[in-house]
Amino acid sequence: MAISITPISPVAISIFGFDIRWYALAYIIGFILCFGLMAILSRRGDAEIKLTKPQFDDLMTWAILCIIIGGRLGYVLFYNLPFFIENPLEILAVWHGGMSFHGGMLGAIAAIFLFAHRAHLSGMKILDLAAVVAPIGLFFGRIANFINIEVMGRISDVPWAVTFNGLTEIPRHPSPLYEAFGEGIVLFTIMILLYTKTDLKRRTGALSGMFGILYGIIRIICEFFRAPDAQIGFLTSWKLTMGQLLSALMIVAGAWIFAASVKKR
């Protein structure tokens, strides 16, 4: 017996005819909490890098812009390029949904290293700090996916499978909630423990590498419950998804970065 859910309006608040969507609120809350925790961690006595408030403001500006651009372009290039070639103006319609984590991650990395270059700081040390707090943003993003009924799971008869009244009739895994738990809560718990309870933060790049490895593993597992994107389907006969392919590349890159960091004296 599936759980039947009344769909939530994608519009959270409407002020003077201007709609503020849950998707936007998720990004705003995620950014605020991520950068707030980054500021707290950078003020710790054992912090490897310390940023002033003006530097944090600059970094946040760079990051917000590049994450949104990267996330959107990642979705366009990785998941639905033929559609956007025919409808180029839809690239700007981010309120319709369609953001790629892997694209957003590349955007965040670009923002951090551009900022670090201008500020004459270590980009990798900032990236290590960002890797610890990033799961917070992932958690809120996946909750927004569930509200928008995006990236839902495969057909299932488990007791917690869900349908949405008037919109969907076939019970499916609530895969955005699986990802919110795995990519958000579990990954954040591990990363904050690695930061506070180990000396990995003293090995530049180690935390970034661990994030790549752990996120990739969690995402690949979650993809087994998530329906493939309709416009792509499975990439192989043994049901490899685009998310699994990109996450496997993350694991390889993360392992290489981690190995290089621990070898350094």
CA–CA dist 236, 16 (Å, integer) = 49
Which pTM value belongs to this model? 0.89
In which band, very low, low, confident or very high, does the pLDDT at 177 lie, cut at 50, 70 and 90?
very high
Q: Under a CB-based contact definition with an 8 Å cutoff, are residues 142 and 23 in contact? A: no
Q: Cα separation of 130 and 222, whole Å?
A: 23
Which of 90-94, 114-118, 210-214 is the most confident on average?
210-214
Range in 98-107, 125-134, 137-146, 202-211 with the lowest mean pLDDT: 98-107
Residue position matching structure tokens 């500006």:
61
173 assigned to some structural domain: yes
15 burial type by CB count under 10 A (0-12 exposed, 13-18 middle, 19+ buried): exposed
Residue type, 193: L
Quick check: 115 and 126 in contact, CB under 8 A?
yes
Residue 97 has a pLDDT of 65
> What's the pLDDT score for residue 181?
97
| Residue 4 belongs to a domain | no
Take residue 59 and report the two structure tokens written for it: 């970094």
- Any domain includes 104: yes
Q: Is residue 185 part of a domain?
A: yes
Assess if residue 17 is contained within a domain: no
State the total domains in the chain. 1
Nearest to 129 by CA among 239, 198, 39, 62: 39
Owner of token pair 């960002």: 130
| C-alpha–C-alpha distance, residues 195 and 201, integer Å | 6
- Confirm whether 162 is domain-assigned: yes
Residue recorded with tokens 């579990």: 186
What pLDDT score does 45 carry?
73
The answer as to whether 13 is a domain residue is no
Asked if pLDDT for residue 217 goes beyond 70, the answer is yes
Q: Is the dihedral of CA 107, 38, 27, 2 positive or negative?
A: positive
> What residue numbers bound the domain in which 37 lies?
22-263
What pLDDT is recorded for position 95? Answer: 65
The number of CA neighbours under 13 Å toward the Cβ of 4 is 6
| Of the candidates 165, 144, 168, the residue with the CA atom closest to the CA atom of residue 155 | 168
Contact between residue 226 and residue 153 where contact means Cβ atoms under 8 Å apart: yes
The predicted structure's pLDDT at residue 176: 94
DSSP assignment of 144-196: HHHHTT-S-B-B--STT-EEETTT--S-B--HHHHHIIIIIIIHHHHHHHHHH
The answer to whether position 26 is within a domain reads yes
Residues in the chain: 265
